[in-house]
Amino acid sequence: MRAGKVVSAAEAAALVKDGDTVTTSGFVGIGVPDELLAAIEARFLETDHPRDLSLVFAAGQGDGKDRGLNRLGHEGLLKRVVGGHWGLIPKVAKLATEGKIEGWNLPQGVISQLYRDIAAGKPGMLSKVGLETFVDPRQGGGAINSISMDPQVELMEIGGEEILFYPSHNLTVALLRGTTADEAGNVTMEREALTIDNLAQAMAVHNAGGVVIVQVERVARAGSLPARDVHIPGILVDAIVVSKPENHLQTYSTAFSQAFTNRISPPAGEIPALPLDARKVIARRCAFELPVNGVVNLGIGMPEGVASVAAEEGLLEHLTLTAEPGVIGGQPASGLDFGAAVNTDAVIPQNNQFDFYDGGGLDMACLGLAQADAVGNVNVSRFGPRLAGAGGFINISQNARAVVFAGTFTAQGLDVHIGEGGVEIRKEGRARKFLDHVEQISFSGARAARLGQPVLYVTERCVFELTTNGLELKEIAPGIDLDRDILGLMDVRPIVNEVSLMDARIFRNGEMDLRTDLLHLDLPDRIAIDPNLGLLFLNFEKMRIRTLDEIKLVERLVSEACVAYGKPVDVVVNYDGFRIDEVLESNWAEMVNGLTERFYRNVSRYSGSAFMRMKLGEVFPDARTHIYESREKARSFLGSNGA
């Protein structure tokens, strides 16, 4: 006689009735209840039931072939689907794009957070996430096809601001996964790589009078599980199914790793460095934007390489990398392991992670680049008949303090060679990525520019920056011809003013010593006083200032040098390639003005960039300030004034 709530997979599948609304757990291959999904598929193929199910899911749950939600991809089994990421479930996506089921693509974070509001009996949730994208009712409301008429999102105005309302769903079945269940249905997740939304989903379905079924590896005696380890209380669980091992892999790439449970730390250097190719070049250039001591999200695909570069450059201890299913700290995994991570600081529920993201917790996000247009819109979600889905992209890109989009300049057959001379295009990709208009707006460039969000678009051959007037070309790789390799392959010409070369280190083998740049370890060497001339040299060439702490560090080191010298000094400052975040310009000016009053006589600044000279003139209008285009002219001015 079986104990408590334990049933067979077939008996669990029989609990799902025609017309039910099903929600499932999982992220790629992590936490996906494949035993339960396989049992429902087998029952449908044998009996033609259950039929006309509605499916609600947040993260993508599949391997891009047959596993995960692909098991439900049969005509008649599904009637409508609301989901966040569709790229890993082509069998279900095909039903939607062909109009055989109703379908909507909504932001992954919104669906994740909506589970909690459904559990609490709320009518829905309010969010700015999705405004001015394809999810906005003015741009289709996330509908995938013409038969999807039931609105899943409404535009409202509250307090004079536009906001989106996402109505609740009546969820009747939850298919979830854990590690160990006791006979009373209490479920722990000690061998799972993530906890995702299991608790919120179980509450939502239980409180609606539905059926909660949990797939586990093993069963324990009732009351024997440590209470603090229980993630899904037994009061929420109706049935437990013990899975076959092949349907309970930790990820679709790794059967089981203690490192992914965060109970051990793998040896340092276990994750190999990337080979020097286009992907690594892009990841390296993105890594130049990493905020020291900041919090970063890395998307799936091309951005995954940034974690490897950060590890290779010794930067991981100076960053907090995160992934949307709840990973905080450590090093995220890639491929079909994506979502898992090693050496993490914490693993929290997915809905809480999106709370953090939506509230502005990310200092930077690095995300994929599939299509872009002249005003900076990005599409990662829909390409003709191919439905990828936005996943967490909209939440993350819309709310991060700075965004870097990463991808090759063209697609489909691109062949490049990376060497000391930079980039050689051996064969151009057949598909253009920089278009007149993107097929679908997953990221609104106009909104980001209007709100002043810093945005870069990084490819293997060039870098663009978002401005209020659209994309501006900022950097070009050595070896690349501007007209042939860039402008000739764009549907709309970008803004082209001053264009600099991408850093040569990006295209060389071996470490770039990026740690020195980002941590300003060489700053003391950039400050020097010639006691014979009474001349202070400040070399800020290619320096990047992104925080108040960095400004304070410059102030402290310059002050120490001037105090040690003991007399007023003339100053020459090199601003070639210098960058400072716009919001910090006034802080920088205040710091410099303070040093000027305390220590400086005449100040001469120079930069080869006309734009930088203009900015310096705005920031330092003082009569003692002189700005030149070369070091020689700056020195000449001081010499003519008796220095």
What amino acid is encoded at 635 in this protein?
R
pLDDT > 70: what percent of the chain? 97
Q: Does the residue 268 lie in any domain?
A: no
Same domain, 234 and 106: yes
Query: For residues 308 and 332, what is the distance between their CA atoms, to the nearest angstrom?
Result: 9
Mark whether 324 is an active-site residue.
Answer: yes
Query: For residues 17 and 19, what is the distance between their CA atoms, to the nearest angstrom?
Result: 6
User: Of 443 and 633, which is predicted with more confidence?
Assistant: 443
Could you report the per-residue pLDDT of 483-513, keeping only the tens digit for each?
A: 999 999 999 999 999 999 999 999 999 999 9
Q: What is the DSSP string of 332-357?
A: E--GGGBTBEES-SEE--HHHHHHHH
The dihedral region occupied by 508, where left means phi > 0, alpha psi between -120 and 50, and beta the remainder, is: beta
Q: Does the residue 433 lie in any domain?
A: yes
| Structural domain harbouring 18 | 9-247
Kindly give the interhelix angle for 350-358 and 108-119, rounded to the nearest 10 degrees.
120
Q: Does the residue 258 lie in any domain?
A: no
Q: What is the CATH number of the domain that holds 15?
A: 3.40.1080.10
Could you report the per-residue pLDDT of 218-262, keeping only the tens digit for each?
A: 999 999 999 999 999 999 999 999 999 999 999 999 999 999 998
Residue with tokens 């599949």: 62
Same domain, 284 and 427: yes
Q: Does the residue 263 lie in any domain?
A: no
Domain boundary among 440, 473, 506: 506
In 3-state terms, the chain is what percent helix, strand and coil (to 5)?
30, 30, 40
Would you place residue 627 in the very low, low, confident or very high pLDDT band (cuts 50, 70, 90)?
Answer: confident
Kindly provide the b/e burial profile for residues 422-457, where b requires at least 16 CB atoms within 10 angstroms of the residue's own CB.
bbebeebbeebbbbeebbbbbbbbebbbeeebbbbb
Q: Does the residue 457 lie in any domain?
A: yes
If DSSP codes are grouped into helix, strand and coil, which group holds residue 288?
coil
Could you report the per-residue pLDDT of 412-428, keeping only the tens digit for each?
A: 999 999 998 899 999 99
Would you place residue 334 in the very low, low, confident or very high pLDDT band (cuts 50, 70, 90)?
Answer: confident
Same domain, 445 and 542: no
pLDDT at 638: 65
Could you report the per-residue pLDDT of 270-324, keeping only the tens digit for each?
A: 567 899 999 999 999 999 999 999 999 999 889 989 989 999 999 989 999 999 9
Please check the confidence at residue 263 and state whether its pLDDT lies above 90: no
End-to-end CA distance of the chain: 97
- CA dihedral of residues 138, 141, 145, 148 (deg, nearest 10): -120
pLDDT > 90: what percent of the chain? 88
What amino acid is encoded at 203 in this protein?
M
Please check the confidence at residue 461 and state whether its pLDDT lies above 60: yes
Could you report the per-residue pLDDT of 59-71, keeping only the tens digit for each?
A: 999 999 999 999 9
Same domain, 469 and 529: no
Query: For residues 244 and 215, what is the distance between their CA atoms, to the nearest angstrom?
Result: 10
Query: For residues 636 and 643, what is the distance between their CA atoms, to the nearest angstrom?
Result: 9
Same domain, 302 and 180: no
Same domain, 472 and 540: no
Same domain, 185 and 306: no
| Contact between 431 and 414 (Cβ < 8 Å) | no
Same domain, 532 and 387: no
The β-bridge relationship of strands 78-83 and 102-105 is parallel
Would you place residue 75 in the very low, low, confident or very high pLDDT band (cuts 50, 70, 90)?
Answer: very high
Please check the confidence at residue 639 and state whether its pLDDT lies above 80: no
Same domain, 384 and 335: yes
Q: What is the DSSP string of 202-263?
A: HHHHHHTT-EEEEEESEEE-TT-S-GGGEEE-GGG-SEEEEPPGGG--SSSS-S--GGGGTS
Would you place residue 393 in the very low, low, confident or very high pLDDT band (cuts 50, 70, 90)?
Answer: very high
pLDDT at 502: 97
What amino acid is encoded at 565 in this protein?
Y
pLDDT at 624: 54
pLDDT at 609: 83
| Contact between 297 and 357 (Cβ < 8 Å) | yes
Domain boundary among 506, 536, 571: 506
Query: For residues 583 and 589, what is the distance between their CA atoms, to the nearest angstrom?
Result: 11
pLDDT at 332: 85
Residue 640 Cα to chain centre, angstroms: 53
Query: For residues 12 and 16, what is the distance between their CA atoms, to the nearest angstrom?
Result: 7
Could you report the per-residue pLDDT of 430-457, keeping only the tens digit for each?
A: 999 999 999 999 999 999 999 999 999 9
Q: 324, 428, 475, 550: which is the annotated catalytic residue? A: 324
Q: Does the residue 1 lie in any domain?
A: no
Q: What is the mean pLDDT of the chain?
A: 94
Q: Does the residue 218 lie in any domain?
A: yes
Q: What is the CATH number of the domain that holds 628?
A: 3.30.750.24
Q: What is the CA radius of gyration of the chain?
A: 28
Tokens of 353: 């992670």
Could you report the per-residue pLDDT of 396-417, keeping only the tens digit for each?
A: 999 999 999 999 999 999 999 9
| Contact between 56 and 25 (Cβ < 8 Å) | no
Could you report the per-residue pLDDT of 592-614, keeping only the tens digit for each?
A: 999 999 999 999 999 888 878 88
CB atoms within 10 A of CB 337: 22
Q: How many domains does the chain have?
A: 3
Peptide bond into 50 cis (omega under 30): yes
Same domain, 241 and 336: no
Same domain, 174 and 243: yes
Residue with tokens 């494949």: 34
Same domain, 287 and 192: no
Could you report the per-residue pLDDT of 182-232, keeping only the tens digit for each?
A: 999 999 999 999 999 999 999 999 999 999 999 999 999 999 999 999 999
520-531 mean pLDDT: 95
pLDDT at 1: 37
Could you report the per-residue pLDDT of 3-33, keeping only the tens digit for each?
A: 689 999 999 999 999 999 999 999 999 999 9
Domain boundary among 226, 247, 268: 247
If DSSP codes are grouped into helix, strand and coil, which group holds residue 546?
coil
pLDDT at 2: 54
| Contact between 369 and 459 (Cβ < 8 Å) | yes
Contacting residues for 316 by C-beta, under 8 A, at least 6 apart: 307, 310, 330, 331
Q: Does the residue 273 lie in any domain?
A: no
pLDDT at 616: 81
125-134 mean pLDDT: 98
| Contact between 612 and 627 (Cβ < 8 Å) | no
Would you place residue 632 in the very low, low, confident or very high pLDDT band (cuts 50, 70, 90)?
Answer: confident
